[in-house]
Amino acid sequence: MPVLFAFTLALGAGLLFAVQPLAARASLPTLGGTPAVWNTSMVFFQTVVLAGYAAAHGLARRCSPKVQGVAFVAIIALGSLSLPPDLATTATSPPEHPLLWLLARLSVQVALPAFALALASPLLQRWYARAAGDLHEPYFLYSASNAGSLGALLAYPLIFEPWFDLDRQAHLWTGTYVAWGLLILLTAWIQARRPPGTPPAAVVPAVTTAANRPGEHTRPGTRAWLVWIGLGAIPASLLQGCTLFLTTDVASVPLLWIVPLALYLTTFIVAFARNGQWIIRAANRALPFLATALLYVILCRATQPVVLLMSLHLGFLFLAGVVCHGRLVALRPPAEHLTGFYLALAVGGVLGSAFNALLAPHLFRSVAEYPLAIALACLALPARVRASKRPGHDPIAPAPRAASPPAHATVWLRDIAWATVIAVLMAVLGVSVPWFGADSPRLRDAVVFGLPAIACCALLDRPRRLALATGAAFGVGLWLQGLWSQTIHSERNFFGVTRVTRNAVAGSHQIVHGNTIHGRQFLDPERRNEPLTYYHRHGPLGSVFDAFARMHASTAEAPQIGVIGLGAGSMAAYGRPGERWTFFEIDPAVIRVATDPRWFTFLQQTQAQPVEIVEGDARLRLRERPDAGYDLLVLDAFSSDAIPVHLLTREAVELYRRKLRPGGWLLAHISNRYLNLEPVFAALARDAGWICRSSDDSNDNEALGKEPSHWVLMAQREEDLGPLRRGITWIPAAGGDSFTPWTDRRAGILEVFEWRFD
């Protein structure tokens, strides 16, 4: 029987996890590549899971086992009526209210089956507890449920996305859902026919008070619910903060978000497993050391070595998840209150994710929610971890109270005093160290951030004191970074943190997202209009615009250029009198920075007039433009970790073909440390009957502001290339013969991933 329940739970959790990317991907062609598609889908499914857990709690409290089984089977049957989900894109133009359109679409397509899948986890564990009596605890089944989620998370990008299009994925998912429904019917029949065993023996209660002593089956109180919610919220917030920090400030690696999410799911598997106690003990001992180490590397803004830094961040995420979820296991209620326990855990997960996704971008200019979650994770540690060496002591349970504890206010004052001392120490060092000649950044960071981090190590046995000190150190450190930094402008919105920095040595401004440069401009008036970095006149882009100018020098009609991706507006430096330029940019913060003459003046100094900036997703906005309107389309949206796959599909190329005039060019910037996109464009060109050339310039020149870049150029005929046809730097693109063209229904990043982390 345990195997049947575990397999059914794992299969259902895998189905719930797999349907999320399946449904979201189908909406990309209509809504574009904005992150709102994925974030809205995540919030939708989190809400469905919360609703499922709430329904399970209500059924368990108010209905008999037979009624529960009948109701559950009926919900599954209702969910099957909407299957297979219709994933065809029904909107031919951008919806007026895209978020409402997406929520309505998801509700019609997958809400009922997803609700049924979410209902299964707490309800089946309750059924198992009833059938097994006091022989087994049902909580280990939660490990099986998360194992299924982990399997689906890894299988989707590795197996299903590369090998199956969306329609085949939908039919495969539907068939598996039907099989899962039959397993649910079997488990419902077993628990209804089998007489219930003795009620499960009491375990460690949620909160031990005078009215709730071990062994008593009292209903958990408000304090217990708040503790469960808090322990569920901290890892959820830490997951999102760690993922955002890694993918923007450490390594812009596509699909890197899978690793933190996989570790997050693994912490549930470890904490709720029957033999996971030794890992919880080890996590309790190691977490404070990693917290102080992270305090140092985050405040130093370290980006090298990448592998070590990623291991440190991901290791802390794993340990913090094990600690928090281990405390949840230690504070779990008897099985009769199981559904309420999981409901509180789901509420905590939604609150933690909502804080990062909805509130943090408006509250903080940097990813400050991540250090905050690191400090809060220390609160989940059991007090006085070193005392766990005593025989018979449970290291995952709270420490026993002293016989005569000090006054509560006095304890808090002591903890706050420790945190204040460390914060003042850091502030004094940060202000005074440069005066003593320690102006080397590495030496300065070692003194100002290293000494307080060492001081925090003295608080390893006092979680609350450690959390307050770590939080205070992060706050003062961020303030000091603002004093020392060359950042002259910073703003944060839904798309991330956009910063303008000043390089005093090179005499330039640059626009930065995470650790990715999106444009640079000299401050010297005589060099002010020189395009730099990937857009240098001595690079591939310079040769393209030189050839383009010669081909259109004698044309009567004004050439029109469309550019997808604005950055600092560097490409406008190539504008010539009479040309009409249109920039498509999805991030309003980038538009504000590029058009502000205090930071960049490419758009003001260009000779092309007029220059139009269109806000929104480029593929959606291009639909609104007249056909055959552009002589040159430039795709420059591939220099960050968020690769807009919907711009690299057969359907997208068909859209570009319609918008280009006869003989027009499609130019794409594909510089990327982790992806080789040349085969993608070579395959798309072969599929469309076009020719495709590539130019990979590996030369850089810091004095000239030039950086290596990789570009591909597509045209309908060989003779359309003009002077570039005879150039030795533009060669036929490689890799397209054996590569299957990406479509809106099938694309896989792993096909072009280059496995390196240097």
Q: pLDDT digits over 537-555, tens only? A: 999 999 999 999 999 887 7
The pLDDT of residue 209 is above 70 = no
Q: What is the pTM of this model?
A: 0.77
The sheet with strand 560-564 has its strands ordered as 611-615, 580-585, 560-564, 630-635, 660-669, 709-715, 691-697, 731-732
Residue 392 pLDDT: 46
Residue 324 pLDDT: 95
How far, in Å, CA of 316 to CA of 310, rounded? 10
Beta-bridged to residue 732, according to DSSP, are 693
Question: Token pair of 373, please?
Answer: 């979650």
- In tens, the pLDDT along 568-580 reads 999 999 999 989 9
How far, in Å, CA of 461 to CA of 447, rounded? 24
How many angstroms separate the most distant Cα atoms in the chain? 94
Ranges 225-234, 281-290, 453-462, 532-541: which has the least confidence:
453-462
pLDDT-based confidence at residue 556 (cuts at 50, 70, 90): confident
- In tens, the pLDDT along 102-113 reads 888 888 888 999
C-alpha dihedral, 250 to 251 to 255 to 260, nearest 10°: -30
Residue 389 pLDDT: 45
- In tens, the pLDDT along 579-625 reads 999 999 988 999 999 999 999 999 999 999 889 999 988 888 898 89
Residue 515 pLDDT: 65
Amino acid at 703: A
- In tens, the pLDDT along 492-502 reads 877 778 889 88
Q: What percent of the chain has pLDDT over 90?
A: 35
- In tens, the pLDDT along 329-383 reads 989 988 888 889 999 999 999 999 888 877 888 888 778 889 899 989 988 888 7
Q: Which CATH class is domain 1-201?
A: mainly alpha
- With a CB cutoff of 8 Å and minimum separation 6, the contacts of 249 are 301, 303, 367, 514, 515
Average pLDDT value for the chain: 82
Ranges 1-15, 74-88, 314-328, 652-666: which has the least confidence:
74-88
Residue 343 pLDDT: 93
How far, in Å, CA of 483 to CA of 155, rounded? 46
pLDDT-based confidence at residue 746 (cuts at 50, 70, 90): confident
- Average of pLDDT values for 229-254? 82
How far, in Å, CA of 584 to CA of 578, rounded? 20
C-alpha dihedral, 706 to 712 to 715 to 718, nearest 10°: 90
Residue 399 pLDDT: 47
For the chain, the straight-line distance linking the first and the last C-alpha, in angstroms and rounded, comes to 49
Beta-bridged to residue 630, according to DSSP, are 660
The pLDDT of residue 168 is above 80 = yes
Q: What percent of the chain has pLDDT over 70?
A: 85
Q: Kindly report whether the peptide bond that precedes residue 610 is cis, defined as omega within 30 degrees of 0.
A: yes
Residue 384 pLDDT: 57
How far, in Å, CA of 308 to CA of 303, rounded? 10
The pLDDT of residue 732 is above 80 = yes
Q: Specify the long-range contacts of residues 472-475, CB closer than 8 Å, at least 24 apart.
A: 472/419, 472/420, 472/422, 472/423, 473/295, 473/299, 473/422, 473/423, 473/426, 473/449, 474/295, 474/298, 474/299, 474/368, 474/371, 474/372, 474/374, 474/375, 475/423
Write the CATH number of the domain with boundaries 511-752: 3.40.50.150
Answer for the pair 692, 713: CB distance below 8 angstroms, yes or no: yes
Q: Specify the long-range contacts of residues 216-222, CB closer than 8 Å, at least 24 apart.
A: 217/334, 217/336, 219/337, 220/333, 220/337, 220/340, 220/341
Residue 387 pLDDT: 41
The pLDDT of residue 252 is above 70 = no
Question: Token pair of 408, please?
Answer: 């509560």
**More confident of the two residues 693 and 62:** 693
- In tens, the pLDDT along 440-497 reads 677 777 777 777 777 777 677 778 888 888 888 888 887 777 667 678 888 887 777 8
- In tens, the pLDDT along 342-353 reads 999 999 999 998
Query: By C-alpha distance, which of 556, 568, 412 is closest to 499?
Result: 568
C-alpha dihedral, 583 to 588 to 590 to 592, nearest 10°: 100
Answer for the pair 709, 669: CB distance below 8 angstroms, yes or no: yes
The pLDDT of residue 291 is above 60 = yes
Annotated domain spans of the chain: 1-201, 408-485, 511-752
Ranges 125-139, 178-192, 732-746: which has the least confidence:
125-139
Which DSSP category does 595 fall into?
A: T
Query: By C-alpha distance, which of 593, 588, 497 is closest to 301?
Result: 497
Q: Give one word for 177, left, alpha or beta, with left for phi > 0 and alpha for psi -120 to 50.
A: alpha
Query: By C-alpha distance, which of 351, 330, 352 is closest to 341?
Result: 330
pLDDT-based confidence at residue 195 (cuts at 50, 70, 90): low
Answer for the pair 518, 511: CB distance below 8 angstroms, yes or no: yes
Residue 613 pLDDT: 95
Q: Helix %, strand %, coil % for the chain, to 5?
A: 60, 10, 30
Ranges 13-22, 210-219, 607-616: which has the least confidence:
210-219
Residue 212 pLDDT: 39
How far, in Å, CA of 423 to CA of 470, rounded? 9
- With a CB cutoff of 8 Å and minimum separation 6, the contacts of 408 are none
Q: At what angle do helices 277-299 and 463-484 cross, to 10 degrees?
A: 20
How far, in Å, CA of 414 to CA of 399, rounded? 19
Assign 473 to helix, strand or coil.
helix
**More confident of the two residues 507 and 666:** 666
